[in-house]
Amino acid sequence: MTRAERNEDVKRRLFDAARHIVGELGYAEASVARITEMAGVAQGTFYNHYASRQALLDTLLPTIGREMAHFIQERTETIRPEAERETARFHAFFDYLAQNAGFLRILNEAEFAAPQAYRRHMENMATPFQRILGRARDRGEVRDYADPELEVIVHILMGARSYLSQHYGPGPVDERVFSAYARLLRGGLFAP
């Protein structure tokens, strides 16, 4: 490995250790000592890659959120019409949770433990979602909501995901959760 590759490997191991610790034990338990021990590096090495513990913790949610968005997009990008695609996105979100059990803890605790990261994550999720619904509206697949209303709709749908994932996830989710979500969308947002 080159020096750059070794540095990237150490940085990835530190990130993965923090991800594991926060996902399992929470942000408060993610000390530099615990992170470096799990990553198999000296504590001093940590500061070659991150300015502080908080700097690392602030990268967790936005990075994992982009990973989740990519996971969902890969599974849904070819599905049409948009009502079916949104139901598939909802389902893919739960599939991601099933494969990444620590995500909910990282997300839910970030609001207080890493508030800047939380706001960045929410913006990273909401902005593209609003563009998707805006394009669907322009194609006539979504009711004629103004852009500011679509912003509200996006946060309603994101809130539904959050609450339902806490109540029904992350394990196997009863099909009624998906069918109820789909029926709500077809009778409201995507109603002809």
Report which of 154, 181, 16, 26 is spatially closest to residue 94, judged by C-alpha positions.
181
pLDDT digits (tens, 9 = 90+) for 24-71: 999 999 999 999 999 999 999 999 999 999 999 999 999 999 999 999
186 exposure class (CB count in 10 Å sphere: 0-12, 13-18, 19+): middle
The chain-wide mean pLDDT, for the chain, equals 95
Residues 69-93, mean pLDDT to the nearest whole number: 96
106 exposure class (CB count in 10 Å sphere: 0-12, 13-18, 19+): buried
Whether the predicted pLDDT of 90 surpasses 80 = yes
Q: Evaluate the CA torsion angle 103, 106, 110, 111 in order and state its sign.
A: positive
pLDDT digits (tens, 9 = 90+) for 10-23: 999 999 999 999 99
Query: Given pLDDT bands bounded at 50, 70 and 90, which one contains residue 160?
Result: very high
pLDDT reported for residue 169: 76
**Residue 53 Cα distances to 28, 56, 68, 168, angstroms:** 11, 5, 23, 32
Whether the predicted pLDDT of 78 surpasses 80 = yes
- Which helix H or strand E contains 5, and what residues bound it? helix 3-25
CATH class of 1-50: mainly alpha
> Could you tell me where in the chain the CATH 1.10.357.10 domains are found?
58-187
pLDDT reported for residue 161: 94
DSSP annotation of 111 reads: H
What is the rounded end-to-end Cα distance, in angstroms, of the chain? 58
Per the CATH hierarchy, to which homologous superfamily does domain 58-187 belong?
Answer: Tetracycline Repressor, domain 2 (1.10.357.10)
> Could you tell me where in the chain the CATH 1.10.10.60 domains are found?
1-50
